Amino acid sequence: MSDATKRQDLALATADVVRDLLATYAGSSLEELGLPEGALAAVRPPRPEMGDLAFPCFPLAKALRKNPAQIASELAQAAPPHLAAAAAAGSIPPVAGCVAAGPYLNLTFEPGSLAGFVLGQISSGQAPYGAALPPTGRSTMVEYSAPNTNKPMHVGHVRNNLLGLSLCRILEAAGEEVIPVNLVNDRGVHITKSMLAYQKWGAGKTPESEGQKGDHFVGKLYVRFGMELAREKAALAEEAGLDPQKLDKEKDRELEDRAPLTLGARALLRKWEQGDPEVRALWERMNRWVYSGFDETYHRLGCTFRKWYFESNTYQLGKKIIDEGVTRGLFHRHPDGSIWAHLEDEGLKDKILIRSDGTSVYITQDLGTAVLKFEDFDMDRSVYVVASEQNLHFRILFRLLRQLEMPWAAGCVHLSYGMVNLPHGQGKLKSREGRTADADALLNELATIAHRKAVEGGYATEAGIDLDALADIIGQGALKMYLLQVGAEKDIQFDPDATLDFEGDTGPAVQYSHARICSIARKALAKGMLAAGDLASWALPDPFADLGTGSPVRAPAEGPWRKAPSGGAAQPAAGDAAAAAVRSAVGLRPDRADPALLVREEERRVSLELASFPAALRQAAAQLSPSPVAAHLLELTKAYARFYHACPVLRAESQELMRARLHLSLAVAATLRRGLSLLGIQAPDAM
């Protein structure tokens, strides 16, 4: 990690000072002691009165042959000159207290100096508050979304989309070159099922004639296929003297394989792979309908992609790679013509790569796509954002890539995330059975609930607010924070009613904190307590602004399916000059506020939370998880709420203190705005 990155992270900068202290104390560096660089990493003490940062001495005990508590005590005695020198050099704020607390070395910074240190970084737009951290030199592709062209996206896809878009933003802010891409599942038997359904029951209808989004129109056909297939299976079971409600998985699969609809869908797939003109024309037409619907949903969610990959373009490359593997003796052709990979050395069952009829399976096209992606971008790392149900699939895929001796195979990473289940014991989402929380309907429902709660709670009280636009922003904020604050690996039971609350650990609570600060600043301007020229500002970084959704088909600008406002550009606050100035304000100019006045405990806690933002970003990037950023925003919101109730801003005891507290407040707003943007959430400046 570069020295510049360390200076922009208080925890890292302080850890550097403590490591230098240790080298003097022990006569050896961490490396010479055989310890990793992170052996003296800073942590937050469990209680505020214990200090601002703590350094556990447990890792040093064996190397120094001393009790950790003794090491902490001796370091505390030796520390003051080192800490003072570092503060004089501007590396860290001056330290007011350095004590041993059992096996921990605890440091407390001077409150006013701590505030000046972090507020100076924020108001000047230093990284990562106002810009990305210095380049790491690493490029990472993030493949996310991966929808099927036989149905609209549901809340499970939403979790994927939100993880992917936020991970792209977090990695970019951490200094990486990020390549967001989408892999579209546009071929296979699941696609021909909806095509067969259209041939049988579509009756020449179109999304336009039915007043539906294209993906919804096609998705209803897929559900119809599933319902009719269930009837066929039941009939076959009854013919065999079986109870359709008491079939085991093996018998159910056998009946499904024999059902006329299944045979028809597979026959369509063979025709598709053979290039049948009529089948291909229907496939292209239905895909265009779906892409138009995806474009609208992606635009609303804020998803952007540099490139879309289509499995229809990669499965042939996958077949070629597999044929080469057969020639090299890596894969084996069975007498029926199917091709398999032997994976016994991995403790896995053999994996089919090509069916006996010559058609490909998922892993066929995934092999081709993996090769094509690295040929296109030559990145250092390829991250696949895919649900945990596919853990085995990716274990096999990565094993096959290593077996094929792909030089970049070690750079492939599966970001596995848990399933999204319906509440009240309804189980998992299953599109074919129609048991889905449709993404568009979900966003509309959340916007409706947010609209009602904003009105009932008296939040939407300022003139000039577009309540429909605001409700969509709040609804999305609720959903995104709800899904992203949980570790990706965990399953989620999703209930829309649980996501929306203007208090507690929720997206609307964070958004409301930002809006409250903007309201305070507007009042200060309106009352003449502050001039627009007093404000420091910088533009919120938007690294993917030049990218669109990447969809090959744009959604119509108007149509009967446009029932909800886009959350992309709505600004609920009035568009006057004061509102515009506050919207980008990040504090006061250096000569207009004195942070040294911010010495109360509530002010110190807010300053410390602000200083923790770089560490949260660093942790999120290292873990490939947005949850540390989400957790930081929730903690900052709570710290500011305590400050707001204990420390009047506009009614402060003096003009100087008012300006200092407003300076602090605007820095909080800037950090909330920056952090929310990393999660793909808008920060309304009025609620």
Q: Are 557 and 508 within 8 A, CB to CB?
A: no
Instruction: Kindly report, residue by residue over 498-534, the tens digit of the pLDDT.
Output: 677 778 899 999 999 999 999 999 999 999 999 999 9
What's the rounded mean pLDDT across residues 636-649? 98
71/105 Cα distance (integer angstroms): 9
What's the rounded mean pLDDT across residues 556-568? 49
How sure is the predictor about 476, in pLDDT bands with cuts at 50, 70 and 90? Answer: very high
How sure is the predictor about 154, in pLDDT bands with cuts at 50, 70 and 90? Answer: confident
What's the rounded mean pLDDT across residues 372-380? 97
How sure is the predictor about 394, in pLDDT bands with cuts at 50, 70 and 90? Answer: very high
- Fold identical between 3-109 and 439-678? no
What's the rounded mean pLDDT across residues 630-659? 97
Cα dihedral value 451, 457, 462, 467, nearest 10 = 0
CA-wise closest residue to 26 among 95, 86, 69, 78? 78
- In one-letter notation, the amino acid at residue 458 is G
Cα dihedral value 30, 34, 37, 40, nearest 10 = -60
Answer yes or no: is pLDDT of 343 > 60. yes
Give me the chain's average pLDDT, please: 91
What's the rounded mean pLDDT across residues 470-491? 92
Residue 422 is predicted with a pLDDT of 58
Residue 523 is predicted with a pLDDT of 95
The architecture of the domain spanning 439-678 is: Orthogonal Bundle (1.10)
Answer yes or no: is pLDDT of 272 > 70. yes
Strands 331-333 and 412-417 come out as unpaired
How sure is the predictor about 7, in pLDDT bands with cuts at 50, 70 and 90? Answer: low
Instruction: Kindly report, residue by residue over 587-637, the tens digit of the pLDDT.
Output: 999 999 999 999 999 999 999 999 999 999 999 999 999 999 999 999 999
CA-wise closest residue to 377 among 408, 419, 334? 408
Name 238's Cβ contacts closer than 8 Å, sequence gap at least 6.
244
What's the rounded mean pLDDT across residues 409-422? 90
Which 3-state string (H, E, C) describes 475-521?
HHHHHHHHHHCCCCCCCEECCHHHCCCCCCCCHHHHHHHHHHHHHHH
Chain CA centroid to CA 298, Å:
14
Task: Report the top-level CATH class of 3-109.
Answer: alpha beta
- In one-letter notation, the amino acid at residue 293 is G
Q: Are 94 and 585 within 8 A, CB to CB?
A: no
Residue 345 is predicted with a pLDDT of 80
Answer yes or no: is pLDDT of 393 > 50. yes
Q: Which two tokens stand for residue 318?
A: 């996958």
Answer yes or no: is pLDDT of 313 > 50. yes
615/118 Cα distance (integer angstroms): 13
What's the rounded mean pLDDT across residues 194-215? 96
80/102 Cα distance (integer angstroms): 19
Answer yes or no: is pLDDT of 421 > 80. no
Sequence spans of domains, the chain: 3-109, 439-678
Q: Are 195 and 283 within 8 A, CB to CB?
A: yes
Q: Are 189 and 265 within 8 A, CB to CB?
A: yes
Q: Are 589 and 129 within 8 A, CB to CB?
A: no
What percent of the chain clears pLDDT 70, i.e. is strictly above it? 93
Q: Which two tokens stand for residue 406?
A: 């792909």
Q: Are 479 and 442 within 8 A, CB to CB?
A: yes
Q: Provide the 3-class DSSP secondary structure of residue 576.
A: coil
CA-wise closest residue to 576 among 522, 650, 516? 522
- Cβ burial of 88 (10 Å; 0-12, 13-18, 19+) is exposed
Between residues 249 and 217, which one has the greater pLDDT?
Answer: 217
Cα dihedral value 487, 490, 495, 500, nearest 10 = -10
The H or E element spanning position 277 is: helix 277-301
Residue 461 is predicted with a pLDDT of 60
Answer yes or no: is pLDDT of 474 > 60. yes
Answer yes or no: is pLDDT of 21 > 90. yes
Cα→Cα distances 290→57, 297, 379, 512, Å:
58, 11, 30, 36
Q: Are 483 and 437 within 8 A, CB to CB?
A: no
490/120 Cα distance (integer angstroms): 38
Residue 460 is predicted with a pLDDT of 63
Cα dihedral value 29, 30, 31, 36, nearest 10 = -160
